[in-house]
Amino acid sequence: MTKRQGPLEDIRIVELGHVIAGPLSATLMADFGADVIKVEHPRGPDMMRDLGPKAAQDGVGVWWKTIARNKRILSLNWKADKGRAILRKLVEQADVLVENFRAGVLERAGIGPDVLHEWNPDLIILRISGYGQTGPMAKKPAFGRAAEAMSGMPHVTGYEDGPPMHPGFPAADSTTGLMGALGVMMALHARGQNGVRGQVVDLAVFETLMRLMDYHVPVLTGAKISPNRNGLRQPMDYAPGGMFRTRDGTWVTISAANPQTAQRLLRAVSGDALADDPRFADMPSITKNMTAFFDALNTFITQNDLADVDAAFEAADAVAAPVLSVEDILAHPQINHRGDIASVEGEETRVVAPVPKLSKTPGSMRWLGRAESADNHLILQELGLKSAEIVTLAAQGIIGLPEGKT
């Protein structure tokens, strides 16, 4: 097994997570060297193993390959007494525990934060749930789309006269994974300062996307404007931009956040005529005349091929960015130069490489998602169990064993 390296190589994480939000938090830290031990039930592994398409090479789910990458796998029934004893050993040696069950599940199992901190007072506990650990909705079941709806994102996505729309990826779960890793990093940094030891990071899935959207609440409370969906344009048309299709069928996106950029856009599509037009002299004027601005962009772009659009915009020091398909992504010279697509020896499936890029302690890809119970023997032996004990626990259904082992 490839040796762990990276800025988090001294951090051990016990992951009780499932599906996306909790596991992604752990994955992001595993990419940078954290020793993540993912715990699955022997008779009910993470559904991500079977969700979505399977790799042609080995029939393993490709989503599992990436969300469980760089993790060691332990199958353990931690609700049974003997399994709970093993979980305690894990927690005693861990820095972080990640869980994303519905609020109250750990408490009902007898391992709420009070118990976990008895076992390990320095433990950071990341608790991800749909609506948080407290409040009138705390125990309500949730899923990513419900959280997206509560954040307000679909309300500003789509056409004005059409239904609200979700994006083409699990935005709420994914942003929660990112925010969860950030929360753990801050809690680890705080540990040992001013007497702080372990603590709980309480993260509601809807909160993360709401925080990253950021602008909609101050727009209403401060400017008394209610943002709404506006098709291919900005929800409030506060800055020129939109999505346009070139004559040869490529979608490009345009954006300008200040009058200088906006005038460069206009100069690219119509020369000096519109760029020097007083209707577009400053952002208030541009906002007032946004339809004319949008129409000028649309006319030029739809009547020209991508190469000509790109040349005109480059000459004017403006940007028209083509929308890439995944095929385009894999072939793109900048993405390849940056090493943004990673591969592992013996695997045909490639994945997005660790982000961000650290100059001295970069992240790395060591392996993709492993089989059920793949690391049981090694992990349990590290905890002090003998081979005979491991076999007995497997026979009792407390743990699983890798396929083909008894």
List, by residue number, the catalytic residues: 173
Sign of the Cα pseudo-torsion (237, 240, 246, 252, in order): negative
- Which amino acid, 311? A
DSSP secondary structure string, 84-120? HHHHHHHHHT-SEEEE-PPTTHHHHTT--HHHHHHH-
β-pair partners for 201 = 126
Q: Using CA atoms of 225, 231, 234, 236 in order, give the dihedral in degrees to the nearest 10.
A: -20
The side-by-side arrangement of strands in the sheet containing 241-245 is 241-245, 251-255, 321-322
Cis peptide leading into residue 278 (ω within 30°): no
Q: What is the DSSP letter of 200?
A: E
Identify the three-state secondary structure at position 335.
helix
Q: Taking Cα atoms as reference points, which of 51, 58, 70, 67 lies closest to residue 8?
A: 70
The Cα 378–Cα 383 span in angstroms is: 9
Structure tokens given for 280: 């577009």
Distances from the Cα of 320 to the Cαs of 35, 45, 311, 338, in angstroms? 42, 45, 10, 21
Give the H/E segment covering residue 159. none
Q: Alpha-carbon distance 219 to 223, whole Å? A: 5
Cα–Cα dist 358/338, whole Å: 12
CB 130, CB 136: distance < 8 Å: no
* Short-list 8, 24, 5, CA closest to 126: 24
Question: What is the gyration radius of the CA atoms in the chain, in angstroms?
Answer: 25
How far, CA to CA in Å, does 23 sit from each of 5, 39, 131, 316, 358? 20, 11, 18, 45, 22
Tokens 């016990």 -> residue: 14
DSSP classification of residue 48: G
SS3 36: strand
